[in-house]
Structure 1
Amino acid sequence: MRLRALLAAAVLTTATAPAALAAPGIAHGTDVPAGQFGFVTKLSMTKIPRPDGSTYSSYCTGSLIAPGWVLTTGHCFHDANRNRVSGKVPYPTTATLGLVDEATESGVARKVTEVVQANENDVALIKLDTPVTTVQPLKVTHAAPKVGRQLTLAGWGSLTGTDPKPASRMQQGTVAVAKVEPTTLGVRGAAPEITTSACTYDSGAPYFTETELVAVEATGPGCPHAGIETTSRVDILAAWITKTTA
């Protein structure tokens, strides 16, 4: 098991990280059609500290759940020792949303100013410097998920865990809920393949129905894979999300 956000990213230094590469995201997924899933947010982070004082760049994925707030995984924001942090954003982070293809679209970009970590799960809310009014936020479910429910996964992660590169074209796939735990969901790939799975840089990517966010990406086996992926339930955080973003 491994954190999706940052482990492989440690080799991308601030000087060498590419701005946009023609690499698909979500292992064994498909292209997201133009105009879809504008709430899915690509998080680009620079100057992330290491214990030796050096820095590197990395990426995560999130979802707009209020005009000024994005929900993502908590471990995307940490100190040099990888302890999750709240408060002022610990390193420069840009949130880009409202697009599916960086080669042909500009989308909407905002700076992240604040991080609020959840107590019950590996989830964080991040505050944007200016609210986004041109993209419809994704509603957060209040209902507990059920085994067998199919969910859409969309994100900006890498095609593979081998020599991962951040995506320039958003990908999607379908998964099915395999098990329900008190704070997490286990999901398996369903379409277009049973090996459709989240990959590096998909940390925080949303799992959602046609109308509601159900979970966010946390961790899983090496990608692509046909095993169980661990995701963080958001229904148990719905009240906290509403209070924090009010």
Structure 2
Amino acid sequence: MAVAVMAGAGGAYTYAVSEQGNAADQPVRTAVAAGPASGGPAATAPAVLPVLPFNAKLTSHDIPVAGGGVRDGGCSGALIDPDWIVTAGHCFHDIDGARVGGRPQYRMTVTVGKTRDGDPDGRTADVVDVRQSPVNDLAVAKLSTPVTGIVPLTLPGRPPTAGQHLQFAGWGSTSATVVVPSDHLKRGQFEVSKIKASTLEADPLVPRTVENSPCHDDSGAPYFVSADDVTGELVAIEDSGPECPQPGTEILARVDVVVGWIQ
């Protein structure tokens, strides 16, 4: 087991990365964004789709804390199949901060299809299974109830390119000091500046604010391309970055390098 210190979305965190030999790190083996949903009863989408309906707000409940007690937490993500979302791997961890797969050790709820907490529509389901990427800080999570009527983000068919413009959308904090998830979806524009084997770097196209760039609880937020704000292609997800809203480069987990593993 190796211990890694990384700067998560909006701040530093430490976790231990262990070799996982069970089903939790195996491919999902599902037809992503294609074909009818299976599993529990389908969650019907709202009659009028909101902006970026594929966005997902993740809320963790009663996470055990070393030394006793529990806390709540949050992450962001995106729908990639009626039954599955994608988010950051470190959003699912044990009491020591080690990334884990399988059934979560605490309750994680996922809300899809909203732009504000108070929106009357949108659907919520629990995470029932987690698969950790073998190459980067990315995970896919299975929902207790499939979501229909919302087109998931498609997976990329090609690698990202330097200079490519990406949209960001997340539910992270809008304060650098009061760390709670936002009550509304945040959006921003970024440009790919460097591409590495399993990650990429991206910089904002305009000066940073807490509304247009990642902060605490934006881990797992999607970076994507979309022509209509309803459908789109996923390129990467939020891994780590500078303290918000300070200048700096975001580190993103590439999705194209795990498409085969997801499928």
Give the TM-score normalised by the residue count of structure 1: 0.83
Question: Shift in Å at residue 169 of structure 1?
Answer: 0.9
- Distance of 2:75 and 2:10 partners within structure 1: 6
Q: Indicate if the aligned counterparts of 2:221 and 2:237 stay in contact, CA closer than 8 A.
A: yes
2:56 corresponds to which of 41, 53, 69: 41
8 Å contact 1:79–1:85 — kept in the other structure?
A: yes
Q: Aligned residue for 1:227?
A: 248
The percentage of aligned residue pairs carrying the same residue is 38
CA distance in 1, matches of 2:69, 2:9: 21
Rg larger in structure: 2
Q: Which residue of 1 aligns with 2:216?
A: 200
Q: Secondary structure at the match of 1:167?
A: coil
In structure 2, the residue matched to 1:58 is: 73
Tell me what 1:113 maps to.
128
Q: Helix, strand or coil: the match of 1:75?
A: helix
Partner residue, 1:12 = none
Q: Which amino acid aligns with 1:226?
A: P
Q: How far, CA to CA, are the matches of 1:49 and 1:222 in structure 2?
A: 25
Tell me the equivalent position of 1:2.
Answer: 7
Give the CA deviation at 1:106.
Answer: 3.6
The gaps in structure 1 that reach 5 residues or longer are: 9-33
Secondary structure in 2 matching 1:163: coil
The answer to whether the 8 Å contact 2:179/2:216 transfers is yes
Give the CA deviation at 1:109.
0.5
Q: In structure 2, do the counterparts of structure 1 residues 115 and 207 end up closer, same or farther at CA, with 3 Å as the change threshold?
A: same
Deviation at 1:199, TM superposition (A): 0.6
Q: Partner residue of 2:158?
A: 143
Measured against aligned partners, the alpha-carbon deviations of 1:139-182 in whole angstroms (never above 9, x if no partner) come to: 01031111111100001011232222211111101001111111
1:4 aligned partner, one-letter code: A
* Aligned counterpart, 1:74: 89
Cα deviation for residue 35 of structure 1 reads: 1.2
1:177 matched to which residue of 2? 192
